[in-house]
Structure 1
Amino acid sequence: MPLSTLLIFVAMFGLMFWMQNQQKKQAKKAEEERQNLSKGDQIVTIGGMYAVVDEVDLANNKIVLDVDGVYLPFELTAIKRVVAKGTTQATSPVVEEASETAIVEE
């Protein structure tokens, strides 16, 4: 076997090993974040929904999220990332009222 072919195989093996290591590190970090969730943490689900943690049940792999007063049960694996750690309660979004202006036609 020529040396260049051997080098290509070694490079491919090294690249696969490195990519696998990175994936394991990310999975381990995500699992640690899920295990350290507590009430009041702000999170994002895998569906892109922002919510506040209300209850965590690690034994049953369940979590209850508060989304503007609506309580939704999820599995822990549905948590994508933690946005803010340990904030107290979800705040209501501030809605600004538009000032009414008269439109004058000329």
Structure 2
Amino acid sequence: MNANILILVVFIAAMYFIMIRPQQKQQKKRQAMINNVQAGAEVITIGGMHGTIAAVNKEAHTFDLDAEGVILVFELSAIRQVVKEANASVTTEELTGEAPEVNESEADSDDNQETTDAQKSEEK
């Protein structure tokens, strides 16, 4: 009788460590990902939509997804994967799709640098 109870306890413990515990870890990781998502992050939704997060509304648990200029509103739980984290160094070009303006003096100095590099390689 005691052997049967011991087998049952071992079986339940094995089920916990094989099935339940890894699932709980995965849920915590997903919840942390959703809680830390910020505007500018590139995500994939559960429906397969790829885009950049334009805004996050924590109170309503929604986010605005910019998919090539089309803004769509999704629940935060619709995020399947964060492809690229948002960071402070997100450029205007990445968000708007437009190239930033370059001063003529900066462009000239870049051209001069390339010319001098080419001349040095020719001399060798």
Q: TM-score, normalised by structure 2?
A: 0.64
Cα separation, partners in 2 of 1:47 and 1:90, compared to 1, 3 Å: farther
Do structure 1's residue 62 and structure 2's residue 62 form an aligned pair? yes
- Runs of 4 or more, structure 1, over 6 Å off, are none
Unaligned runs of 5+ in 1: 93-106
For 1:25 and 1:37, the matched residues in 2 are separated by 19
- Structure with the bigger percentage of strand: 1
Which residue in 1 is equivalent to 2:79?
A: 79
Bigger relative CO (Cα 8 Å, ≥ 6 apart): 1
- Structure with the bigger percentage of helix: 2
Matches within 5 A, 1:21-100: 21-86=21-86, 88=90, 89=94
- Count of residue pairs brought into register by the alignment: 91
Identity of aligned residues (%): 35
Q: 2:77 aligns to what SS in structure 1?
A: helix
Deviation at 1:90, TM superposition (A): 5.5
For 1:86 and 1:43, the matched residues in 2 are separated by 10
**Which one has the largest radius of gyration?**
2
Q: Aligned AA for 1:55?
A: A
Residues 68 and 90, structure 1, Cα contact 8 Å, conserved in 2 = no
Q: TM-score, normalised by structure 1?
A: 0.73
Unaligned runs of 5+ in 2: 98-124
Deviation at 1:81, TM superposition (A): 1.5
For 1:59 and 1:12, the matched residues in 2 are separated by 43
